Amino acid sequence: MYHESLPYRRVSPKLIVLRQIYNALSFGIPIIAVIIGFSILHANTEFFTRFTLATLLYLVPVALLITGVVFVFIIPRQVKALGYLENRDDLLLRRGILFRHQVAVPYGRIQYVDIRQGPLQRAYGLTQIVITTAGGGTAATFEGLPLEEAERLRDDLTQRGYQRLAELGAS
């Protein structure tokens, strides 16, 4: 069940800017490439003398542009929906606006916690945390935490995992 009333901790608002940069790169580069390609075709062939086909082909960059603009408005809401909560027995991670997703990672199943940073993430002081659990699978990936908070969370999760393992061994 997705609980709105729980005191989830939020990720850094810098993640909005970082995702907007990724959005601009993801949609801007293909738009420019398609426009350049169409311009070359248009200049070198009679392909574009047929109005309807030319018009349809120019709709491709327009559709990409519209999709990119829609994401400009969605990204801040997506980031505000991200949160995490350290419970007594597990870590809860949530995301999603329309399609909500919540993951509970039991401390006793955590094998290791990995902190990752790409060049843009490093420039903004943000990280991505990957939690791997027993059974060989990645239980959760979570982004947008400042490096200091990610390191604290990694150390805390590791310590709690060791405590749970010791409790199971003592039983």
List, as one string, the DSSP characters of 127-145.
EEEEEEETTS-EEEEEEEE
What pLDDT score does 115 carry? 95
Amino acid 36: pLDDT = 81
Which pLDDT belongs to residue 65?
85
Q: Is the pLDDT of residue 82 over 90?
A: yes
pLDDT at 139 over 60: yes
In this prediction, residue 40 carries a pLDDT of 74
Alpha helices (H) in 45-110, listed in sequence order: 51-81
* Distance (Å, whole) CA 89 – CA 106: 6
Percentage of the chain exceeding pLDDT 90 = 43
- What's the predicted TM-score (pTM) here? 0.81
> For residue 20, which of 66, 83, 70 has the smallest C-alpha distance?
70
pLDDT tens column, 93-104: 999 888 989 988
Distance separating alpha carbons of residues 39 and 48, to the nearest angstrom: 10
For 37, the 3-state DSSP assignment is helix
| pLDDT value of position 54 | 62
**For all residues of the chain together, what is the average pLDDT?**
85
Angle between helices 14-44 and 51-81 (to 10 degrees): 170
Please state the φ and ψ torsions of residue 44, each to the nearest 5 degrees.
-105, -10
Q: Which helix (H) or strand (E) holds 103?
A: strand 101-106
pLDDT at 170: 65
Q: DSSP class of residue 149?
A: H
Instruction: Locate 151 and state its tokens.
Output: 């390191």
Rounded average pLDDT over 107-124:
92
- Least Cα distance to 11 among 95, 88, 119 occurs for 95
Per-residue pLDDT band at 164 (split at 50, 70, 90): confident
Query: Edge-to-edge strand order for the sheet containing 138-146?
Result: 110-116, 126-133, 138-146
Nearest to 147 by CA among 169, 167, 170, 118: 118
